[in-house]
Structure 1
Amino acid sequence: MTKATGTVGDPPYLRIVAAIRRSIADGELVPGDRVPSTRQIAADWGVALATATKALTTLRLEGLVEARPRIGTVVAGTAPATPARRRPSPAPDPEQELGLDRIVRTAIDIADAEGLAALSMRGVAARLGVAPMSTYRYVPSKEDLVLHMADAAFGEESPYRSDAAGDWRTRIELGARTLWGLYRKHPWLAQLSSLTRPLLVPNLMVHGEWVLGALDGHGLDPTTLFDIHVLLYSHVQGLAVHLEMEAHAEAVTGQSEDQWMDSHAPTLRGLVESGRFPTFAKVVGSFENGYDLRLDGLFEFGLKALLDGLTPIIEGRESVA
C-alpha cells in the first residue's frame, strides 16, 4: 500500500486515510480484505495508536471499512464511489438495538484486535454506528466499560462443576489452564490489575473459587491456603502479561521478536565474549539454533514445578490432620 497520497500539510491521520482510500480505489484492497490494524498503522507510519485509531474510525464513518468480530477491520462489502458518500443507515436504527451487552462485545472485539490502548468510548460508538454520546447511557466511563469487558471475558469459559471428580491437583490444573486460555484469547486481560490491587469482578471470582475449593479441606491454615492461591494465579497472569507487551512492542518498533533479537545480536555477542558472565556464555553457546522462548511451554513447565513443590505441603498437612 503506497503512502504517497494526501496533502503534505494534512494531519497525519488524514494522510493515512488517503493512502488506504487510494488502495481501495485502485483495487489493491478489495471487499473482505483486512486493512492494517491500529498497531500496524502505528508501526508503519510512526504515529501514536490514538492517531491510527482516528484514521480507521474516519474510514469506518465513510463506509469504506467495517469491523468483523474475530477478524478485524476489513474493506466493506460495497465501497462508496467517492469518499464523501456514506453508506445508508442500516434498518432498524442501531440506536434502538443498542444495549450494554452489545457495547461490551464490541469493545472486546476492538481490544482483541487492536489492543486496550486503541479502545475509546468514541471508537466503540463509531464501530456500532451510533452517536458518540449514546454509549454513555449504558456505561458511564471507559473505566466502567473495561470492568464490564473483563467480567464478560472471564465468564466465557467456566468448565467447573461442583460434582466434578478429580484430586486437588487435577482441579487446579483445570483452573490454571482455563485462565491461561482466556488470557491467550484476550491478551489485554492480564494488563488490568496487579496482585496488590486485584480485579474484583464476579466471573474472575468464579475461577478463584474453584482453586480455593480444590485447596480447602487439606489441613492448610487460611493464610497458607490463600498464599498458594495467589502464587498459582501470579504464575498464570505473570506470564500472560507478556502477550500484550510483545504485541505492543512489535507495533511500536515495527520489528517481530526474532527481528528485534537479530538487531541486538552485537550487544548479546559483546556480553557473551566479555568474559564477565561465564555461565551465561556457556549456556547460550550450547544452543544449536538459539533459544526459543515459548510462553505456552513455560506456562506448563512452571505449573508442573509449582504443583510438584506444593504437593508435600498440601498432602503433608492433610496426613497430619
Structure 2
Amino acid sequence: MGDGSAVPRYSQIVGELRRRIEAGELAPGDRVPSTREITRQWGVAMATATKVLTELRREGVVHAVPGVGTVVTAAPTNPAATTPASAPASPVGRPARPARSAAPARPGAPSDATAGGQAGLTLARIVHAAVLVADAEGLAAVSMRRVAAELGVATMSLYRHVTDKDDLLVRMMDAAIAERPLPTEPPPGWREALEVAARQLWGLFRLHPWLAPALSLTRPQLITSALAYSEWVLEALHARGLDDQTAFTAHLTLLNYIRGLAQNLETEREAEAQSGLDSEEWMDTQESAFRSTLDGGRYPGLARLAKSGYDLDLDGLFEFGLQRLLDGLAALLREGDASGG
C-alpha cells in the first residue's frame, strides 16, 4: 500500500494549505478557502472541511475575523522573543498592537506623581494593559486582578490610579476613541462630514470589538474623546438649519445604527470561542435544516436567495445602511428648506 493512503484526507488538505501559506501564495491577512470552498475544491464532506480549518486554527496558522472569514495569521518577526514570564502570551493570531495614547486624567483621581505605589506603574500603563486584554479576549476577560497580573503588580496598587472597574472601563473607552481623532477641519458638505464621522467610528469598533457593547445609549458615560463626535455631527446639521433637538436625535440615530451593527463583532467572537466554528462554518452546519424548511414553498423569496447564495459582509452592510440613513436625513433637510422658503 502507498503511504498516501494512510494519511487522513483532512491532513492532506491541511498540508496543502500550509504549503501555500509557507510559500507566500496566501499572505498574512489573506482569506483561506472557506469550508464550502474546501468541499468543492477537494470533494470532501463538510465535516472534513470543518476539521481542516479547526486544525489550522489549532496550529495558529489561521484565525477567524468576524465579518471577514478565516485569514492567515501574521508570523512573529522574532520567534525567539517571548512575552515576560509574568504576563500570559497573547492568543494566537492576534499580533501585539502598538502603544496607545493614555486616557486623560479624570477629576479627583490621584496623579502618577502623587499616587505613590510601585515604581513605573502609571495610569497610562494600566489603561493600555486593560485595552490589550479586551482587544484579545473580550471585555469579560478584563478585571482588576487580570490587569494587575499583566503588569506584574499587586491588584490593590491599581486602585491608587483608578477608582474601580467602571472607572477603568471609561478610561479604556476614552483612550480607544482618542486613537483616531476627527480631522481638524470638516469637509464642506453636511453629508460628507457625517460620512467621515460614521466611517471613523465604524473603524474604531472594528479595531476594538468590545467598544460597541461597552458604550451605553440610555446611560451615556462621560467619555471626553467621544464628545468630539457629537459636536461634529451637531455642527454639520445645525449649519443646515436643523434645530438642536432634531440634530441631536439624528446624531443618536446614526450612532446607535453603527453601534448596533458593531455589537455583532463581539458576540461573533464569543460564539466562535464557544463553538470552535466561525460564522461561515456555523452556517454550513445549519444549511440542511434551513433548506428543508424552505422546500415547502412558504417562503419563496428566501428560497430564491438560498439558491443564489448570500455572502454576509458587515462592511458592506454598514455602508448600505449608512447611505440609506443619510438619504433620509437629506429628505428631512429638503423638507426644512421648503417649509422655510
Q: Structure 1-normalised TM-score?
A: 0.69
The CA deviation string for residues 140-159 of structure 1, in whole angstroms up to 9 with x for no partner, is: 21111111100111111112
**Structure 1 position 133, deviation (Å):** 1.5
The aligned counterpart of 1:148 is: 171
Higher relative contact order (CA 8 A, sep 6+): 2
Using the alignment, how far apart are the partners of 2:86 and 2:145 within structure 1?
Answer: 17
The aligned counterpart of 2:221 is: 199
The aligned counterpart of 1:44 is: none
Percent pairwise identity:
45
The aligned counterpart of 1:71 is: 95
The CA deviation string for residues 70-101 of structure 1, in whole angstroms up to 9 with x for no partner, is: 6259xxxxxxxxxxxxxxxxxxxx93111111
**Structure 1 position 217, deviation (Å):** 2.6
Per the alignment, do residues 158 and 65 of structure 1 end up closer, same or farther by CA in structure 2, a change over 3 Å counting?
A: closer
**Structure 1 position 67, deviation (Å):** 5.2
For the 8 Å contact 2:86–2:149, the answer to whether it is kept is no
Using the alignment, how far apart are the partners of 2:165 and 2:183 within structure 1?
Answer: 31
The aligned counterpart of 1:304 is: 323
Using the alignment, how far apart are the partners of 1:65 and 1:144 within structure 2?
Answer: 24
The aligned counterpart of 1:221 is: 243
The CA deviation string for residues 222-268 of structure 1, in whole angstroms up to 9 with x for no partner, is: 33222211111112111110011100100011111111111111221
Secondary structure of 1:281's counterpart equals: helix
The aligned counterpart of 2:143 is: 120
Q: How many residues are matched? A: 243
The aligned counterpart of 1:241 is: 263
| Mean Cα deviation higher: 166-175 or 196-205 | 196-205
Per the alignment, do residues 265 and 36 of structure 1 end up closer, same or farther by CA in structure 2, a change over 3 Å counting?
A: closer
The residue identity in structure 2 corresponding to 1:172 is L
The aligned counterpart of 1:232 is: 254
**Structure 1 position 201, deviation (Å):** 1.2
Q: Where in structure 1 are there 5+ consecutive unaligned residues?
A: 1-32, 38-58, 74-93
Secondary structure of 1:291's counterpart equals: coil
For the 8 Å contact 1:60–1:126, the answer to whether it is kept is no
Using the alignment, how far apart are the partners of 1:66 and 1:282 within structure 2?
Answer: 47
User: What aligned pairs does 1:163-312 form with structure 2 within 5 A after superposition?
Assistant: 163-285=185-307, 287=308, 290-312=309-331
Q: Structure 2-normalised TM-score?
A: 0.65
Pick from 115, 125, 130: which aligns with 1:107? 130
| Mean Cα deviation higher: 225-234 or 100-109 | 225-234
The residue identity in structure 1 corresponding to 2:172 is M
Per the alignment, do residues 96 and 34 of structure 1 end up closer, same or farther by CA in structure 2, a change over 3 Å counting?
A: farther
RMSD: 2.8
The residue identity in structure 1 corresponding to 2:275 is T
Q: Where in structure 2 are there 5+ consecutive unaligned residues?
A: 1-58, 64-81, 98-116
The residue identity in structure 1 corresponding to 2:331 is P
Per the alignment, do residues 236 and 224 of structure 1 end up closer, same or farther by CA in structure 2, a change over 3 Å counting?
A: same
Using the alignment, how far apart are the partners of 1:66 and 1:95 within structure 2?
Answer: 23
Using the alignment, how far apart are the partners of 1:67 and 1:280 within structure 2?
Answer: 42
